[in-house]
Structure 1
């Protein structure tokens, strides 16, 4: 059975902040984004028609001529306008939908957090609607624009929003917003976090204590992966060690990305005796690849992952891991949402402890 070695202290002031990137609107990758929802009257003016004609073109196209409809649709496409089919219903009562945007549906840590949140809110008459952003700014923008149309009661995100334009669109919804997974200084609204910098530091200390002298890193190049690399490299320097190799994976879709990254690290010719994989899918893929090559784990190479504690227990050999209780993230998020919707004084920020789980890989 995996052994829990210890955790970071529980005092919020002891957790390092994650300096999350903030990207201004001029740097946004998706064209045509707007900080505030476009009104139907503005679309009508641009198309040279009345607001009721715009409404008919979008809801019942057969009532509008082809030429007029094409002109309206051209304006809609150019401005990224989203009509709100639920607006009239919401004027007389609030939505029962809580939207959850997860970074990757294949990652067990995100789905566990979503399920835990659902268990909290569903007992109070709310239903969860799940979408996926896939670590993509463009998909994130599309999802948030869809929320403007859906107008849910609240939003829970398994991450923090970096694009200022998207942050403003979420603020404009005027509903409870819970970000997570990074201890940012300036959340949009509420936050359930852990320190990614501390996660990297904890990983470096663990590998050092286990006698590894040539550690490498596999992780995403941006967002939380970059923060974990920052803490990992920082702590290695303090311990007198160098980071001998670093494989950056920009897009993580499956465990196959981890297998490819491990092979890429080997192909670099760098001698490494351990690797910190700062993503659960990358860690799983690296472990599968190493085992398939007949490597002795952790004899020839130690593999330390990052993710949810239950995830570590399901692998063979069991993954040594810097772990966070992702169910606790979801439960806190659900409680925050319910408290805000019920007009209670809800806790606005929670920073969770990290722990080390020792399996058979490092």
Structure 2
């Protein structure tokens, strides 16, 4: 295989069409000069799956969320210059640090780059492991809806945001269904959040009739198993659907054949304050995959975008990166069904803000930010 590389224009390649990659492409497509540079967004599917809506989408056909939360990427680059290419990156071949290289795809294509942005996001097991083809995404959604509809007692393993929101949607859609969350820590979520918030979430779940087992674990059984026993010996004899709601991992395995030193032991990409990969000028990373002391959330990826965009433009101009990422406050809004939930914001300076049903219902629970996501991707219906 040959690796073509044009010297006439600098090529910017973005790997990943999730929140970080799509928004970086959107911002860059209107700011780069097409006479001098090219922009290519590579994604494994031709659509964006709005993960904020997935807990509700996989539980109920009400509102047909799949028609709006699975958003084509065909309009993303219409406002500027750029190309969307469908494929999955399998390797990076760098010419030399700072001199670009090529991205090798599973389609046997080799895409040249001078500037590379890594934004490949996280992979989830089972429930959130969406296929690449849009029609298969819809089949995946339908499959899980049937599973949830048929189950009489759903056990959700993992009491993070995904597990909590899923439990809330199940109870909202099917109030008579038994729902249990099993979480390994003594409180829900993790220690990034204050105990007050974690206890408040538990209280709201209990009020909905959702059972919570803390400080306990259970092995994920084979499908069609009825009845489980937790490590602490709690018997849930009627549990007929066990759902894994933990275990997200960075999608960075393909980088191991390039430079193993850029990855942590857990597979996160090392970056400096400019979100540039050390030792590889012109290679940036954003979103869930970066090694940064913060929770992995979509709004954090949004904060990465302006830093990456500004520094990509400086590299294109022949200048060193200058814009610095200083982190962002921990914020988490968790709906427990459509009618409310709880939220927490850590404001710089040590201030903490806690919100309840009214705010959560308005900012997330009712709409799940679907319309905003569609507008950002060029759909204003």
TM-score bucket of the superposed structures, by smaller chain: under 0.3
* Structure with greater proportional strand content: 2
Greater helix share, structure number: 1
TM-score by length of 2: 0.25
TM-score by length of 1: 0.26
